[in-house]
Amino acid sequence: MATQTHGEAPARTARTPALAVGESLAQFFSKHPERRYVMFGGKGGLGKTTFSAATGYWLAQHGKRVLVFSVDPQASLSDIFQMDIFGKGPVKVMDNLWAQEIDADRHIREYQDEVRAKILDMYGLDKVPDEIEDYIAAASAEPAMEESAIFDSVVDILSEGDYDYYVYDLVPLGHALYYLSMAKVYDEWIGKITHLREEMREYEEVAARMRRQKEMAEDQILGELQYIRTRINAASRILTDREKTAFFFVVIPEQMILLDTRKAAELFARFEVPVAGYIVNRVLPPELADDRAPAYLRNRIEMQRGQLAEIDRGFGKTVLARIPELERDVTGLPMIERVAELMYGDGASP
Amino acid sequence: MNERAANGRRASVLAGLREFLYGMTGHEFARHAVATRASLETLFMVTCVGDMIGLPVMPPYYSLRLLPFVVPEIATWKRRVLRERQFSDEHDFELHGV
């Protein structure tokens, strides 16, 4: 990988401006200042992290306080910003821009400790009973645990921070859908046990009334259930909020990717995720396809031309940007700045 | 003094009467309510921490949040759920004659 020191301007050869499309990304943000939760979704390796970083950079440059965060256990924000930020909370990258990578394992460990401390505190014990301790350890090893922990920390991030914009570098599509379906399942689960608990409460009241006992202890479990419900709803509400969320699909002009993206878009629609638009990445500059170009390159450009026409037919005006393939990978602030210019360089401001 | 003693006697007769009437009428209801609550408690425990006895539970993450509150119930619940059953068990909580 080519390394580069900060501050040194990257070579600006092949300065291909993003091709004009429907509405531009910058116009989108300028028209919809209320859309504060920005998400980039798509298959792995298409440029979600790059666009998240560049969007954060552009917004921060325009004076907005921005947090770019990732929930991917194989997060690459550390790589793109060339800083070690994993599990360190929000780390300042530049003026107005913070980046954060969630360490799910640590979140789970802290959560287990909280549960243990609560048990010791509630019952005045010195040590958590073995049976309970085993249960805590076993529950934490379940596969759904990590996803839930991540989900929960996203709620923390979104509800505690005071940023103008939150740029959410999503995990690949399947996982994002899993989060959403999980929110629905959780909500139903909570609904059922809340109902059960309320019924228990009613019977307890009847018994207390018959026995002329006036006072009943407050049901702490019901309180806890309400709390869990608000947490779950907060997370899924943000993902599906038409007013505040801007969800962008990242695609590249290749048939497989387009087919997968269409399927994913249908699934997202089913979960009522409002898709704000599509960004096409890795477009080979057409001017490279002159007679002297090798057949390999000409063929690829020809193939892309066909797929781009397909993209225009399929997604029409919802294609908000086409970003050219760059001559090197995007790491470090100068390269991020260059991508931000390609994405948002048409003069509109947020 | 006598009056106070008479009042005391009257109060205890009334209390006795109240207990008697409760025993005649309300007790069965109260017992039924408590028993139903206990059944619901079993169901609640299964839904929250069923994986303790081998039943899969959907979201283990949020179950752990509830764990501290159900710690005292765990032993009773396990005894109730895992004990051997009699054929006549399920009729235990019927309200006879009501």
* H or E segment and range at residue A143: helix A143-160
Q: What is the CA radius of gyration of chain A?
A: 24
pLDDT interval class at A207 (50, 70, 90)? confident
What range defines the domain where residue A243 resides? 25-108+141-344
Q: Is A282 domain-assigned? A: yes
- Lowest mean pLDDT across A101-110, A158-167, B82-91: B82-91
Distance from CA of B2 to the nearest CA of A (A): 30
pLDDT in tens, B26-39: 888 888 888 888 88
Residue A168 to residue A343: CA distance in whole angstroms: 17
Give the mean model confidence (pLDDT) for residues A177-195.
Answer: 80
Contact present, A28 and A346 (Cβ < 8 Å)? no
Q: Is A113 domain-assigned? A: no
Interface size between A and B, measured as CB pairs under 8 A: 110
Read off φ and ψ for residue A139, nearest 5 degrees.
-60, -35
User: Are residues A182 and B59, on separate chains, in Cβ contact within 8 Å?
Assistant: yes
- We report the CATH number of the domain holding residue A41 as 3.40.50.300
* H or E segment and range at residue B33: helix B26-49
pLDDT in tens, A255-286: 999 998 888 888 888 888 888 999 999 999 98
User: How many domains in chain A?
Assistant: 1
Q: Which residues of B touch A (CB under 8 A)?
A: 22, 26-27, 29-30, 33-34, 36-37, 40-41, 43-44, 47-49, 51-52, 58-72, 74
Length of chain B measured in residues: 98
Give the mean model confidence (pLDDT) for residues A47-70.
Answer: 95
Report pLDDT for A281: 96
Q: What is the DSSP string of A27-60?
A: HHHHH-TT--EEEEE-STTSSHHHHHHHHHHHHH
Q: Is B69 domain-assigned? A: yes
User: Which residue in B has a C-alpha nearest to residue A145's C-alpha?
Assistant: B61
Percent of chain A residues topping a pLDDT of 90: 45
Q: Is B43 domain-assigned? A: yes
User: How many domains in chain B?
Assistant: 1
Which of B22, B61, B63, B78 would best serve as a mutation to test chain A binding (most A beta carbons within 10 A)? B61
Over 50: is that where the pLDDT of A80 sits? yes
Contact present, A325 and A253 (Cβ < 8 Å)? no
The tokens for A263 are 């399927």
Q: Is B97 domain-assigned? A: no
Give the mean model confidence (pLDDT) for residues A192-204.
Answer: 89
What range defines the domain where residue B48 resides? 2-91
Over 50: is that where the pLDDT of A6 sits? no
Q: Is B96 domain-assigned? A: no
Give the mean model confidence (pLDDT) for residues A12-32.
Answer: 67
Report pLDDT for A7: 43
